[in-house]
Amino acid sequence: MQPAVQQDFHQAADGVRVAVYTWRPESGRPRALVQIAHGAAEHARRYDRFARFLAGHGYVVIASDHRGHGATAASTGGPGVAGDDGWRAIVTDLKHIGDRAGAGHPGLPLVLLGHSMGSMLARDYAQEYGADLAGLILSGTFRSLPGAETETSVAALETEIAERGRAARSGFLPHLFSSFNDPYEPRTGFEWLSRDTAEVDRYVADEHCGFPFSAGLALDWVRAVRKVNDPRNLARVPLGLPVHIAVGDQDPCNQRLTHVAELLEDFRYAGLRDLTWRAYPGARHEILNETNRDEVQRDLLAWLDERV
């Protein structure tokens, strides 16, 4: 029998109701907790297949819809709207949700997996709360936000906010996504996500995917790039924390692995002692929804098994 998903809500201190999903093994003592931080303009339920796979191998998996995403968006102002300083609030939500899951499973190690924008949230989490983690997995990741030169983007978004407010929809994310699709023949505009056309079509048909961000959340993200890449903050990640990077070598977000090489160099310079990575030939951005997803799942499971 496939592990079933359970949904509930985490009530944040500011009143926001964050949707939380949990997959548990059918039997036996769980091996560890795996917390998933999803990417931009998507939601946690898109990780159901991978979560069921891990639960079937003894892991408790928890994932939540970020502010402005999925079922959480209803209490933050709608899709793409995350309130004031939404980025910091999302990192705090992840911390509290992980703590709650840990309290329900005393003694289990916690591994955080972040995809794309979620990988930057996960890096931020590791800088703030790294001592709580037994491992960090970064999927579809990159050192800097590609296609968005920080100074230029900050100025443009600050102008948008001054003219229309933080909650106003911005063209920032649609423009970014469009640039990622430049290498591909445009059928849907989201070919950059995966070689699997069925997965791309599923994303396009999902009403909770592909929406624009508010100018406020876009600005929070761009500013977070500076925060997570600041050497002073990089130095706050525990040196013994196992870190694994998994990407597609045709992912336009990492610009032919350029942004991955830069991130690896940062981690090596910081002195991380257990740093591994894998680039999958031909794979694009969403490696868990790629044509070789079974291989990716097995590799991530093997990494987890070795460390917990």
Q: Which residue has the tokens 């931009």?
A: 40
Structural domains of the chain, count: 1
What is the rounded average pLDDT for all residues in the chain?
A: 96
Contact (CB, 8 A) for 254 and 260: yes
In a domain? residue 153 = no
> What is the spatial distance between Cα 31 and Cα 27, in angstroms, rounded to a whole number?
11
**What pLDDT is attached to residue 145?**
85
| Predicted pLDDT of residue 178 | 96
Q: Looking at the domain assignment, is residue 76 inside a domain?
A: yes
CATH code for position 235? 3.40.50.1820
pLDDT band at 150 (very low <50, low <70, confident <90, very high): confident
Distance CA 150, CA 144 (A): 9
pLDDT tens-digit readout, 86-100: 999 999 999 999 999
**Is the pTM value of this prediction over 0.85?**
yes
The amino acid at 99: D
In the predicted model, is pLDDT for residue 75 greater than 90?
yes
Task: Give the integer Cα–Cα distance in Å for 31 and 111.
Answer: 11
Does residue 240 form part of some domain? yes
Q: Is residue 214 part of a domain?
A: no
Cα of 183 vs its chain's centroid, Å? 23
Per-residue pLDDT tens digits for 27-54: 999 999 999 999 999 999 999 999 999 9
| 265, burial (CB in 10 Å: exposed 0-12, middle 13-18, buried 19+) | exposed
Degrees (nearest 5) of the Cα angle 36, 41, 43?
40
Sequence-distant (≥ 6) Cβ neighbours of residue 34 within 8 angstroms: 51, 54, 59, 60, 61, 62, 110, 111, 112, 113, 304
Please check the confidence at residue 147 and state whether its pLDDT lies above 90. Answer: no
159 domain residue, yes or no = no
Q: Is residue 294 part of a domain?
A: yes
pLDDT in tens, 188-204: 999 999 999 999 999 99
Residue 213, domain member (yes or no)? no
How do residues 240-263 score in pLDDT, each as one tens digit? 999 999 999 999 999 999 999 999
According to DSSP, the residues that pair with 8 across neighbouring strands are 20
Rounded distance between C-alpha atoms, residue 280 and residue 295, angstroms: 9
In a domain, residue 232? The reply is yes
Residue 139 belongs to domain spanning: 5-146+221-307
